[in-house]
Structure 1
Amino acid sequence: MGRCYPHLGLEERRKLAKWREAKMPVPEIADRLGRAPSTIYRELKRNCYDDKELPELNGYYALNAQNMYEKRRALHRKMIMHPELKTAIEDRLKAGWSPEQIAGRMRLERHPIRVSHETIYRFAYSKDGRDEQFYRHLPEHRRRRRPRGHRRHNRTHIFDVQSLSHRPDRISERAEFGHWECDLMMFRKEHGKVNVTSLVERVSRFAVVMRNEDRQSKPVMEALIQSLAPLPADARQSITFDRGTEFSAWRHLKAGIGADAWFCDPQAPYQKGTVENTNNRLRKYLPRSTEPTALTNRYLRSICHRLNSTPRKCLGYLTPTEVFETKLMEIQNRLE
């Protein structure tokens, strides 16, 4: 792997200007800065101040050199060179897309001018991006980039259920359509017992969200049955749950729509990672502080539409709706 050569910073330029004014030889300056002499020669050549009318002012000045460097770098930033591109990216961020989804969709649609997700992040955290507070449009709204933390798992309910370890490989490997994952999203206790069921198909990542008045298991299962019943049998073959008590009435699924139920190991909700990931996306629209009056069916449908219309990297930057509809058409063609 090659070495990384970071650009000169303002502090280094200040030292360079001071030593240059003292007539210090370039090789000695390079040695003191820990740089190659060619780097210093190039810096002096590119960033010296040149005034043809007042040649006596010519020379190397740290702040002027830093400004020249930043302007030159800015010319190569696509989001600065093409304001219309920045506006389009900003609109998609406001619509809930991540930088990676935006970049991937641009590649899929073969845009004449496109950027990588890293370019979007770098602009957001650059001086120009910070001046515009562009970070506010990013999914996490963070002022600085930071590594992910560790998740905590604390659910330990155990039932006489079908363990995930016995689930067929074709389901685990997402080789077969029609297998779902389910979870409940809870809100602050002072808002009562109202919660939301999140349901995601594993192959297409197509999401369905439903309101529940409490955590009683049988109404939760009846809502799942009502939601999935209109689909062909091959599109609702099984659902994977964690071991929360709200899913204890899982046997109603088989009687209602013929769907199997699979359960994660104790304290291992990460085994249904698709719905966990979807919950993280939903929290942008459904934070824990959401009041029950806001959880109308119309609002939940609008959230699902936005989520299912967003391209996903794991789908080759197709949208969940596009993949879901294609799979349903394949089932319909087989039935005919």
Structure 2
Amino acid sequence: MGTRYCHLKLDERRKLAKWLEAKMPISEIADRLGRDPSTIYRDIKRNRYTDDELPELNGYHALVAQDKYEQRRAIHRKMIIHPDLKAAIEDRLKAGWSPEQIAGRMRLERHPVRVSHETIYRFAYSKDGREEQFYRHLPEHRRRRRPRGCRRHNRTHIFDVQSLSHRPERVSERLEFGHWECDLMMFRKEHGKVNVTSLVERVSRYAVVMRNEDRQSRPIMETLIQGLAPLPRGARQSITFDRGTEFSAWKHLKAGIGADAWFCDPQAPYQKGTVENTNNRLRRYLPRSTAPTALTNRYLRSICQRLNATPRKCLGYRTPAEVFESNLMEIKNRLE
């Protein structure tokens, strides 16, 4: 691997400006800074200040040099130089795409001008991006970048279930289509018991969201049966749950559509990470403050359509809908 070139920093430029004013030879300056002389010559040439009207001000000034360097090196420059590109990125963010999905789709579609997801984040949190409040379009609308925290899960356990440790390897490794993960999304207590079931197919990441009037297990299983019954048997082979009591009627699911049920270990909902990740995406449209009257079937379908039409990195930037339809066609062709 080649060595990484490290640009001069502000404190080095201050020393350089002071030593240049003292007429110190470039070779000595380079030696004192631990730099190659060519680096010093290059920085002086690139960042020297010139003024035709006031030539007496011409020279190398540390703050001016740093400002010119930052303007030239700004990682978000493409989104400033190409306003059409910025507008297209903004439209995709408003449609629910993440910066990584936008950047990946650009690579897949071979756009002549494209950016990385880091460029989008850097612009959103840059001075220009903050003035436009560009961060509001990001998935989590945060004013500042910060590391993601850990969620705590305090769920009641159920027993007499098939543990995830016994799930076939072909399912665990996502080698077989038709295996789902399921969870409930809850809302504020003052809004009552209404909740939604979030269901995700593990291979395609295809999402389905359905309304429930309460957390009773039998009606929730009925909703799952109604939602999955139209699919061919090969597309609804199993569902993975956590140990919440709302899934205690899992045997009814087996009797209804013949789907197996697998359960995470106690206090380990992260073992069904696909649906947990999908819930995070859904919260953009279904925050905890959502009123029950807003949870219409039409609205929930529109959210799913938007989510399933968003390209995913893990799918090679294809969309869940594209992968899901492709696998469905394979099953139907085998049945014919």
TM-score range, shorter chain: over 0.9
Equivalent position of 1:149 in the other structure: 149
Change (3 A) 1:276 1:11: same
- Match status 1:238 vs 2:229: no
Match of residue 70 from structure 1? 70
Q: Which residue of 2 aligns with 1:250?
A: 250
The worse-fitting range, judged by mean Cα deviation, of 137-146 and 262-271 is 137-146
Letter of the 2:91 counterpart:
D
1:306 maps to which residue? 306
Q: For 1:247-270, what per-residue CA distance to the aligned partner results, in whole angstroms no more than 9, with x for missing partners?
A: 011111111111111111111111
Mapped partners of 1:211, 1:182: distance in 2: 13
Task: Name the TM-score, length of structure 1 as normaliser.
Answer: 0.92
- Which whole-Å CA distance do the structure 2 matches of 1:158 and 1:75 have between them? 51
CA drift of 1:86 comes to 1.1
Is 2:75–2:119's contact at 8 Å kept on the other side of the alignment? no
Q: Is the 8 A contact 2:76 2:123 kept in 1?
A: no
Shift of 1:153: 3.0
Matched, 1:104 2:104: yes
Aligned to 2:137: 137
The C-alpha deviation readout for 1:81-129, integer Å capped at 9, x for no partner, is 2211111111101111111111111111122222222222232233333
In the alignment, the residues of structure 1 paired with residue 142 and residue 27 of structure 2 have an alpha-carbon distance, to the nearest angstrom, of 43
Q: Which residue of 2 aligns with 1:322?
A: 322
Within a 5 Å distance, the mapping from 1:5-20 to structure 2 comes to 5-20=5-20
Give the Cα–Cα distance (whole angstroms) in 1 for the partners of residues 105 and 304 of structure 2. 19
Contact persistence 2:156–2:245 (CA under 8 A):
no
Counterpart residue identity of residue 126, structure 1: S
Runs of 5+ unmatched residues, structure 2: none
How do 1:76-87 and structure 2 match up within 5 A? Answer: 77-87=77-87
The 1:229–1:115 alpha-carbon spacing in structure 2 relative to 1, beyond 3 Å, is same
Output the CA distance in 2 between the equivalents of 1:195 and 1:329.
32
Partner of 1:47: 47
In structure 1, the partner of 2:280 is: 280
Q: 1:180, 1:25 → 2: CA distance?
A: 70
Per mean C-alpha deviation after superposition, the further-off stretch among 129-138 and 80-89 is: 129-138
Identity %: 86
Residue 175 in 1 paired to residue 175 in 2?
Answer: yes
- The alpha-carbon deviation at position 63 of structure 1 amounts to 3.3
Structure 2: distance between partners of 1:80 and 1:307: 28
> What secondary structure, in the 3-state scheme, does the structure 1 residue paired with 2:177 have?
coil
Q: How far did 1:163 drift?
A: 1.1
RMSD: 2.2
Taking structure 2 as the reference length, what is the TM-score of the superposition?
Answer: 0.92
Task: Identify the residue that residue 127 of structure 2 maps to in structure 1.
Answer: 127
Of 150-159 and 301-310, more deviation after overlay is shown by 150-159
Q: Deviations over 1:164-207 (max 9, x none)?
A: 11111111111111111100111111211111110111111111
Length, aligned pairs only: 336
Look up the equivalent residue of 1:95 and give its one-letter code: A
Maintained 8 Å contact 1:74/1:80 = no
Displacement, 1:212?
0.8
Corresponding letter in the other structure for 2:259: A
* 1:145 shift after superposition: 2.7
Amino acid paired to 1:161: V
Summarize the Cα distance change of 1:312–1:33 in structure 2 as closer, same or farther, 3 Å threshold: same
In the alignment, is the contact (CA less than 8 A) between 1:75 and 1:81 conserved in 2?
no
For residue 23 of structure 1, report the CA deviation from its aligned partner: 3.4
- For 1:295 and 1:99, the matched residues in 2 are separated by 27
Structure 1 stretch 268-277 or stretch 106-115: which is displaced more?
106-115
Structure 1 residue runs of 5 or longer lacking an equivalent are none
Aligned to 1:207: 207
Cα pair distance change 1:133/1:31, threshold 3 Å: farther
Q: What secondary structure is seen at the aligned counterpart in 1 of 2:199?
A: strand
